[in-house]
Amino acid sequence: MSTTGGPAVTPERIMEIVWGYAPPLILAAAVSTRVFDVLDAGPKTLEQLAAVSGNSVRGLRPILNALAGFGFLTKDPEGRFALSPDSAAFLVRNKPGYLGGFVEFSAWNLMPRWQQLREMVRTGKPGAAVNQQETGEEFFQQLVEPIFNMSYPATQALANALGLESADGPVRVLDIGAGSGVWGIGLAQRSKQVSVTAVDFPGVLDVTRKMAERFGMADRFSYLPGDFHDVDFGTGHTVITIGQILHGEGEQKSRVLLKKAFAALESGGTIAIGEILVNQDRLGPPMGLIFAVNMMANTDAGDTFSFEEISDWLKDTGFVNFRKIDPGGPAAVVVADKP
């Protein structure tokens, strides 16, 4: 009860945030100890699950109860745990939409970097800038495969917007910062006319190659190894994809990269920029705000940007016809054409 007659002030939101680190770590621990994989074969009690997964009863008990309480598992009156529909779809290894790799990467690789946040706020400097070959190649070799499924729906939405299925001539795709190759693979699946040139650090292109082979697309891919600021992109590309790159580069380097992309596109060609966007007023959505801090912590100039900001850069570069494809989820695609 407030003594001033206004709404009561409580510490509830603060206390919830203080413990906010716990749910992602609980989820990641369950992924890493194969809880979801084992439950995919059918419901199990705590003791059965401990025996099959090789974990301790004492360790699993509070984890399973918390997961059931948060809705990632169900628990029946006999104490048997089972998968919820979203856990079954996204947290079981080898399911097509698997996101457990990113749950693990975030908890075990990203979270430790955030531990230096206090110092980073003071200095404005990241622990290590990952958008450079020396510091970033190994980081991205590990990251890109786990995030494949985060961008895949956006690639399909882009393929629809480009009308790829009715393409009657060659579609030359240049994929800048290709990573897992998700953009090229997603587009190539939709039309035999698509060929892909993937640009990335040499060590990351090993992952791109592996993924292109896994999806049966090896013969559609060629590779340009090196720093995308230095590599010669050539000319005459029909589509250029830049997936989850600009937030790592910051405004100045992004503008330079967009100019280079513009020169490499054929007239009438299309640029497609996958990004985690923030609203123009920078008050939301939460993912855009959190990701801006992630970029401060991991890059020297990275940030999140709004559709309007990126459109302005594209306009200054000479692009026209700006639109946003929103496939749902945290990432959108900003699309524009070269006149």
Ligand X SMILES: C[S@@+](CC[C@H](N)C(=O)[O-])C[C@H]1O[C@@H](n2cnc3c(N)ncnc32)[C@H](O)[C@@H]1O
Site residues for ligand X per CB under 6 A: 131, 136, 140, 144, 147, 151, 177-180, 182-183, 200-201, 204, 227-229, 243-245, 274
Beta bridge partners of 275: 332
Radius of gyration of the chain (CA): 22
Q: How far is the CB of 242 from ligand X (least distance, A)?
A: 7
Q: Residue 48 in contact with residue 82, Cβ under 8 Å?
A: no
DSSP 8-22: PP-SHHHHHHHTTTH
Between 43 and 127, CB nearer to ligand X: 127
Q: How far is the CB of 12 from ligand X (least distance, A)?
A: 35
Name the minimum Å distance from CB 241 to ligand X. 7
We find the least distance from the C-beta atom of residue 196 to ligand X, in angstroms, to be 12
Are 240 and 261 a contacting pair, CB within 8 Å?
A: yes
Paired tokens of 96: 């097509």
CA 239 from chain centre, in angstroms, equals 21
Distance CA 307, CA 333 (A): 9
Q: Which residue has the tokens 């984890």?
A: 63
**180 vs 238, beta carbon nearer ligand X:** 180
**Dihedral-angle region of residue 321 (phi above 0 means left; psi in -120 to 50 means alpha; beta otherwise):** left
Q: Which is nearer to ligand X, 30 or 331 (CB)?
A: 331
If we measure between CA atoms, which residue out of 286, 334, 338, 331 comes closest to residue 153?
331
Length of the chain: 339
DSSP conformational letter for 164? G
* Least distance in angstroms from the C-beta of 297 to ligand X: 14
Question: For ligand X, which is the closer residue by CB, 228 or 305?
Answer: 228
Question: Using CA atoms, how far apart are residues 277 and 141, in angstroms rounded to an integer?
Answer: 24
Please state the closest distance from residue 227 (CB atom) to ligand X, in A: 4
- Give the nearest residue (CB) to ligand X: 179
Reference 331, options 300, 301, 304; nearest CA is 304
Q: How far is the CB of 42 from ligand X (least distance, A)?
A: 34
Cβ 276 to ligand X shortest distance, Å: 10
Q: In terms of CB distance, is 49 or 147 closer to ligand X?
A: 147
User: Which residue, 151 or 195, has its beta carbon nearer to ligand X?
Assistant: 151
The whole-angstrom separation of Cα 298 and Cα 119 is: 13
| Structure-block tokens of residue 98 | 């698997």
Q: Considering beta carbons, is residue 64 or 246 the nearer one to ligand X? A: 246
Angle at 218 between CA 216 and CA 220, to 5 degrees: 105
Instruction: Indicate the residue among 43 and 250 with the shorter CB distance to ligand X.
Output: 250
